[in-house]
């Protein structure tokens, strides 16, 4: 059991030197990284310390309130597209999600330390805007209004019930009002999407069978179901492919992690590994395969992954 003295010392180290890695706690307190990790996890649970989403050398960094500006040390560890999204958001302060290219939209969802999603209600329609994490709500509200003014008629007004944005009087012709809430992927959204995808697959006439490689089969499936790919990674040529896809629907565009395998039998281990990969990206899974699920795999999905992993056959 961790002692209060260990926790207090670790907290002081983070407060004085943060953001820090577990190895820095080890240097100061002794022990090993496992103990340091347990100490830091306890401090995070106690809400004394915060933990980054991005990782530095395979580990998140730990910091206290007021040290957020130092998280820029994580920039060099970001993938190239996420660096591009980081730079764009830092420069502009606010980005309108629908105006960005698909790859940037995906990247913005990955850099959770720096990009904060805001759901803005405009005449009963909801749009996602991204706020630079160091920008205050008042400035964010003003920038969003400026963006909306360029696309809305002069007399058009937007209803507002802000949760955290302070009231401000702006002497302008338009004063759009914003309702801002965190963006979430709800189980209801994904279930609605699942029903819509099933409906599409029933309506779309499948072409005559032609011998295609795995990537061609995936592209054919995406094309027939009006799904856009934003990222592709070939794990094993003609055997295993990862993608990030965007699926337009009546309930709004949804981003999914796609795992595709050319394998006759998909077992529960395949399903679990695909789900774990998607969890790292904080996305639900669409699993495509040329084979079929084992009974054990299907039972595992129904019991543990309902609404989080969808399986479809490419045959």
Ordered DSSP codes for 94-124: EEEGGGS-HHHHHHHHH-TTTEEEEEEEETT
pTM: 0.50
What stretch(es) of the chain map to CATH 3.40.1350?
A: 187-313
**Delimiting residues of CATH 1.10.10.10 domain(s) in the chain:** 4-68
Reference 56, options 81, 90, 88, 20; nearest CA is 20
Q: Select from 163, 160, 162, 165 the least CA-distant residue to 176.
A: 160
Closest CA to 108 of 133, 125, 126: 133
Please provide residue 265's backbone torsions phi and psi, each rounded to the nearest 5 degrees. Answer: -120, 125
The CATH number that domain 187-313 falls under is 3.40.1350
For the chain, 315 residues long, give each residue's pLDDT as a single digit of tens.
457 888 899 999 999 998 999 989 888 888 788 888 888 989 998 899 999 988 887 889 999 999 999 999 999 989 899 999 999 999 999 999 989 988 888 889 999 999 999 998 877 788 999 999 999 988 999 999 888 887 765 444 444 444 444 434 333 334 444 455 544 455 556 666 667 676 665 655 554 544 578 888 898 888 888 888 888 888 888 899 999 998 877 667 788 999 999 999 999 989 988 998 888 888 889 999 999 999 999 998 988 888 788 999 987
Is beta strand 285-289 parallel, antiparallel or unpaired with respect to 309-313? parallel
Report how far Cα 252 is from the mean position of its chain's Cα atoms: 15
pLDDT confidence of residue 102: 85
**What is the dotted CATH code of the domain comprising 4-68?**
1.10.10.10
DSSP-H helix ranges across the chain: 4-17, 22-29, 33-45, 80-92, 102-110, 137-149, 187-203, 214-224, 268-280, 295-304
Q: What is the pLDDT of residue 153?
A: 55
Sign of the alpha-carbon dihedral angle for 108, 226, 201, 218: negative
In the numeric block, the tokens 């964010």 are attached to 140
Distances (CA, A) of 277 to 7, 50, 74, 186: 32, 24, 21, 19
Q: How far apart are CA 34 and CA 212, in angstroms?
A: 48
**Residues constituting the chain:** 315
- 229: closest CA among 101, 99, 78? 101
Q: d(Cα 212, Cα 222) in Å, to the nearest integer?
A: 14
What is the CA 304 to chain-centroid distance, rounded? 21
Burial status of residue 95 (CB atoms within 10 A of its CB: 0-12, 13-18, 19 or more)? buried
């Amino acid at each position: 059991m961790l002692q209060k003295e260990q926790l207090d010392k670790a907290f002081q180290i983070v407060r004085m030197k943060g953001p820090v890695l577990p190895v820095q706690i080890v240097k100061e307190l002794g022990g090993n990284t496992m103990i340091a990790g347990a100490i830091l996890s306890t401090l995070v649970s106690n809400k004394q310390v915060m933990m980054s989403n991005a990782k530095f050398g395979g580990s998140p960094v730990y910091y206290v309130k007021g040290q957020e500006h130092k998280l820029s040390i994580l920039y060099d560890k970001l993938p190239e597209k996420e660096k591009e999204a980081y730079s764009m958001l830092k420069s502009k302060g606010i980005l309108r999600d629908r105006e960005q290219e698909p790859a940037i939209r995906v990247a913005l969802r990955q850099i959770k330390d720096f990009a904060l999603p805001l759901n803005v209600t405009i005449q009963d329609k909801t749009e996602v805007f991204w706020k630079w994490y160091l920008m205050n709500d008042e400035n964010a509200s003003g920038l969003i209004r400026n963006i909306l003014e360029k696309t809305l008629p002069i007399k058009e007004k937007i209803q507002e019930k802000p949760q955290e944005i302070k009231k401000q009087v702006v002497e302008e012709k338009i004063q759009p009002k914003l309702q801002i809430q965190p963006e979430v992927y709800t189980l209801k959204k994904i279930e609605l999407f699942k029903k819509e995808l099933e409906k599409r697959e029933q309506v779309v006439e499948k072409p005559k069978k032609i011998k295609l490689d795995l990537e061609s089969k995936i592209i054919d499936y995406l094309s027939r179901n009006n799904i856009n790919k934003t990222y592709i990674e070939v794990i094993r040529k003609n055997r295993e492919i990862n993608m990030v896809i965007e699926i337009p629907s009546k309930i709004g565009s949804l981003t999914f992690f796609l795992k595709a395998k050319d394998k006759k039998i998909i077992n529960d281990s395949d399903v679990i590994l695909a789900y774990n990969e998607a969890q790292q990206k904080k996305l639900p899974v669409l699993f495509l395969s040329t084979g079929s699920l084992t009974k054990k795999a299907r039972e595992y999905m129904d019991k543990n992954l309902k609404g989080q992993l969808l399986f479809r056959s490419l045959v």
